[in-house]
Amino acid sequence: MCGDEDKAIRYLEERNFCVQRFAKPELRAGKTPDFRVYRDGQFLFYCEVKSILKDQWLDNQLVEATPGAVVGGARQDPVFNCLTGDIHGAAQQLLAVNKDISHPNVLVFVNHDDMCGFNDLLSVLTGIFYAGDGTAHPIYQQLSHGRIRDEKANIHMFIWLDDHNPERLLFSQTNETHHNTLRSAFEIDQGKIRQI
């Protein structure tokens, strides 16, 4: 995880942010996100980093299998539960230090799984599967309207850092003041933000 935190720090520092980890006494006192983020000495937002690791389920079965054994089987795609679990955990960490949501909250995903992508995050947040032909299908609402229903609104921006694709930014736009703070800090023109 430390390597992924370092990757997030590099990403933010390349954009002229100053990243400060929480002090050890703060960490011992209870839950915290990973960083406070500043620019020009001014505190801007809290930031939590979550790693998406390659699913090892089939690989582990292959390692433990006897020669000639058949492995695998049917199961639910773990990507969606992992993403909702990470959003749930991040929201708790962010709210532990930002109960009144007086500052923006940012969640950085560092993705190492080529079977998981930014569209999976969109599906978890919106409840909609976005097909390659441009159609939208509301098949993931049990996720978006489940345990993260309220928590996702307390995360004002998602940053998707991928091992194999360019980074993506997603603004939740659930708080106009925080949205404008983040948009301005990342120098994103409102007209360039695609509405989902």
Domains in the chain, number: 1
Does 69 fall in a domain?
Answer: no
Q: What percent of the chain has pLDDT over 70?
A: 88
81-127 confidence digits (pLDDT tens): 899 999 999 999 999 999 999 999 999 999 999 888 999 999 999 99
**140-175: b (≥16 Cβ within 10 Å) or e:** beebbeeebeebbebbbbbbbbbeeeeebebbbbeb
Does 66 fall in a domain?
Answer: no
Note if the pTM is more than 0.75.
Answer: yes
**Domain, as residue range, for 110:** 2-61+75-116+154-192
The CATH number of the domain holding residue 102 is 3.40.1350
Does 177 fall in a domain?
Answer: yes
